[in-house]
Chains A and B, each alone.
Chain A
Amino acid sequence: MKNENERFDLLKRLTAARFMVEDLHLYLDTHPNDREAIAKFNSYLMQTKKLRESYEKSYGMLTAHDSFSQYPWQWINEPWPWDYEANFELNRGEN
């Protein structure tokens, strides 16, 4: 792993933006005419895409259907999301 701090910082921002996409997604399913929420959805999706792209540049594939692989096949690289090592620490007391 190149730079753990930097990787976790990026992953944390990606997780946060990705969560906003998820939450707005469910909200929009029952509020399809909320123009403001759609604008928010689109903006968080844009953030998510950019963060995912910069994460993948240094730290490997996040999907196997929409990410390019170097040689050898990068997808199976550890850690997997359920491993202790894959996850960032929450800064408790900060929020």
Chain B
Amino acid sequence: MWIYEKMLEYPVKIKNPNPKMAKIIITQYGGPDGELGAALRYLSQRFSMITPQAIGTLNDIGTEELAHLEMVGAMVRQLLKGASLEEIEKAGMSAYYADHDRGVYPASASGVPFSAAGIQSKGDPIVDLTENLAAEQKARATYEYLINMADDPDVIEPLKFLREREVVHFQRFGEALRIVQDYLQEPHLFIMPKPDFLNK
């Protein structure tokens, strides 16, 4: 189960509305490498994970991603809240406005609604942890592209924090993968059954 803490993991306080930035930052809310996908990926994979360390890592990074989802949503909302219709139109956000006004909807920067098609839960610990290493790198790269497009320090600071967390998560998943590999190589622990076609 989960509990809610009524505070952000890192503050989001954006003075100036900027629908142009909202339009692209939304991708870390509901895009292919965003926080919602990350949380759902790790929290789903944990059911079939092995070794206490890797299970805990999935559970707890998955939970932290929910806190990041909240931060990104706060950023999008604050960037849109005070924006005029003219600014929204100039930012190329009319289509978003027509569907969601100044609300927060999980979609990518190009407007594709959130889809679980971009994530995987394979039931194989090595496969899943390897996917997660890539996922953390993709999220890190996205934050870097977003930082490249931003000029307001109020926007850049929380993006930098989120980027750093992806680096830490990558490190933790790397350690979890090594732990799982070592565990599987212990000779008396052949817990991965031979596929049927190898027994023929």
Contacts and interface: CB of A to CB of B under 8 A. Distances in A.
Is chain B found bound to chain A in the same assembly?
Answer: yes
B interface SS class: helix
B163 interface: no
A88 interface: yes
Interface residues of B, number: 34
B70 A29 contact: no
Contacts of B8: 15, 81-82, 86-87
Interface residues on A, range: 20 to 34
Contacts of A30: 53, 57, 172, 175-176, 179
Contacts, number: 87
Nearest to A63: B5
Given A23-B168, A30-B179, A89 B6 contact: no
B157 A62 contact: no
A82 B176 contact: no
A90 interface: yes
B64 interface: yes
Contacts of B15: 84
A92 B12 CA distance: 14
B11 A29 contact: no
B3 A81 contact: no
A32 B136 CA distance: 23
B6 to A, nearest CB: 5
Interface of B: 3-15, 52-53, 56-57, 60-61, 64, 70, 73-74, 77-78, 81, 153, 157, 168-169, 172, 175-176, 179
Interface of A: 11-12, 14-15, 18-19, 22-23, 25-27, 29-32, 61-66, 75, 80-84, 86-90, 92
Question: 6 smallest A-B Cβ distances: which pairs?
Answer: A82-B74, A30-B175, A87-B11, A29-B56, A87-B13, A29-B57
